[in-house]
A and B are shown apart, each in its own frame.
Chain A
Amino acid sequence: MVAFLGELTNTAYAYLSAGLGAGLVTIGAGLGIGRIAANAMDGIARQPEATAKIQTAMIISAALIEGIALLSAVICLLLNLKA
């Protein structure tokens, strides 16, 4: 494994890190947005009359998390393009 890594060029490392980074971003964003969605569902189930408010707040916080995730995704894209 170590010998194999030694044969990789810097470009190969860039592509590798872009792919790994994209996967890690997906894990983080998925966990974060999943938590928001789960709690929003809980709230809606308890108080169906507050659905509209909960949905708006849910979309806003999901969008904020998504913004960070997409920033990292753009970094991965740049790694891919500039390598």
Chain B
Amino acid sequence: MTEHAAHTAAAETHGETLDIVHHLTDLHSVELPFIGKISLEPLHFQLGGLDLSITKPVIMMWVAGIILTLCLLIAFRGGKLLHNKFAQLLEVYILFVRNEVVYPIMGEKDGRRMLPFFLTVFFFILSMNILGMVPYGATATGNVNVTAGMAIIAFLVIQGMGIAKNGFIGHFKALLPSGLPAFVVPIMIPVELVGMLAKPFALCIRLFANMVAGHAVILAFLGLIFMAKSYILAPLPLAGVIFISLLEVFIAHLQAFIFTILTTLFTNMTMHPGH
């Protein structure tokens, strides 16, 4: 237990309340082992009215990117997978994404071309999710802006691949099923447009809400310890926290998988309309 954690615990015991929301939205500082809290306020800057400060989720995204780059350095050399244990672990993930997610949905030809994008999405989300379970880490995907950014990229890829495959006019013509009676068309156009935008919106909200919900539940269980203030009752919430933490590791993988498979599915739907 570091000094800071002890201080936080003391403050929460005195205040009688555990401020869950504050913990989930504590953006302007990063905590490090042995060093303590580092304020990120100096990194505050604005660009044309947009607040583009470097906040905790941004730092965690950088960390995730650095970890992924290190993974590549450890596991690959000259475009070849090395034969160490870590490379084999990565191979399991990569083969899973390729053989269970991308190839069955898109087929081998298109799947091979799109595979790097889906692998990037999968590993980036996975590493960001897992960082939330590391001490001193935070889940960048627990911030709605991060997932919104991911969803916008997914939206651009989904629409862009449809346009690249079927042409600009063919892409938007394929939104309407052929053989539709003329009077339904004015109703169907807004419906299809809303559906087009709702898919990435749902991707964004799903990832964000799943990650926030898990962490809120962990904090709620920890809050029970401070509420009860009893050494006898403390192990019970602790067991709950351990269980939820293990569940969180599973959810981290599941959400990365679901984001990837849904993006694959939607991309395939725009690339091959009509079935």
- Cβ-defined partner of B206 (8 Å) among A53, A56, A63: A63
How would residues 205 to 220 of chain B score, 1 for a CB under 8 Å from any chain A CB and 0 otherwise?
Answer: 1101110110000000
Cβ-based interface call for B108 (8 A): no
* Contact (A56, B100) CB under 8 Å given A63-B262, A70-B209, A74-B209: yes
Is the Cβ of B209 less than 8 Å from the Cβ of A73? yes
Is the Cβ of A71 less than 8 Å from the Cβ of B261? no
Cβ-based interface call for A50 (8 A): no
Cβ-based interface call for A30 (8 A): no
Is the Cβ of B202 less than 8 Å from the Cβ of A71? yes
- Cβ-defined partner of B261 (8 Å) among A56, A68, A74, A81: A56
Q: Which residue on chain A has the smallest CB distance to residue B265?
A: A60
Is the Cβ of B262 less than 8 Å from the Cβ of A71? no
Is the Cβ of B210 less than 8 Å from the Cβ of A70? yes
Query: B262 to chain A: closest CB distance in Å?
Result: 7
Is the Cβ of B104 less than 8 Å from the Cβ of A56? yes
Complex Cα gap A56–B206 (Å): 18
Is the Cβ of B258 less than 8 Å from the Cβ of A71? no
B positions within 8 Å CB-CB of A: 21, 100, 104, 202-203, 205-206, 208-210, 212-213, 254, 257-258, 261-262, 265
Is the Cβ of A67 less than 8 Å from the Cβ of B202? yes
A53 proximity list for chain B (CB < 8 A): 104
A77 proximity list for chain B (CB < 8 A): 212
A positions within 8 Å CB-CB of B: 52-53, 56, 59-60, 63-64, 66-68, 70-71, 73-74, 77, 81
Complex Cα gap A67–B255 (Å): 11
Q: Which residue on chain B has the smallest CB distance to residue A62?
A: B258
A contacts with B: majority SS: helix
Q: Which residue on chain B has the smallest CB distance to residue A74?
A: B209
List the 7 closest A-B pairs by CB distance, nearest first.
A70-B209, A67-B202, A67-B206, A63-B258, A71-B205, A74-B209, A70-B206
B265 proximity list for chain A (CB < 8 A): 60
Complex Cα gap A67–B259 (Å): 11
- Cβ-defined partner of B21 (8 Å) among A56, A66, A81: A81
Listed by A's residue number, 22 A-B pairs whose Cβ atoms lie within 8 Å are A53-B104, A56-B104, A59-B254, A59-B258, A59-B261, A60-B261, A60-B262, A63-B206, A63-B258, A63-B262, A66-B206, A67-B202, A67-B203, A70-B205, A70-B206, A70-B209, A70-B213, A71-B209, A73-B209, A73-B213, A74-B205, A77-B212
B209 proximity list for chain A (CB < 8 A): 70-71, 73-74
B208 proximity list for chain A (CB < 8 A): 74
B100 proximity list for chain A (CB < 8 A): 52, 56
B21 proximity list for chain A (CB < 8 A): 81
Complex Cα gap A66–B209 (Å): 10
Complex Cα gap A63–B254 (Å): 10
Complex Cα gap A66–B259 (Å): 13
Complex Cα gap A56–B21 (Å): 35
The CB with the most chain A CB atoms within 10 A, among B203, B209, B210, is that of B209
Other than the given A67-B205, A81-B21, 19 more pairs (CB < 8 A) read A53-B104, A56-B100, A59-B254, A59-B257, A60-B258, A60-B261, A60-B265, A63-B206, A66-B206, A67-B202, A68-B202, A70-B206, A70-B209, A70-B213, A71-B202, A73-B209, A74-B205, A74-B209, A77-B212
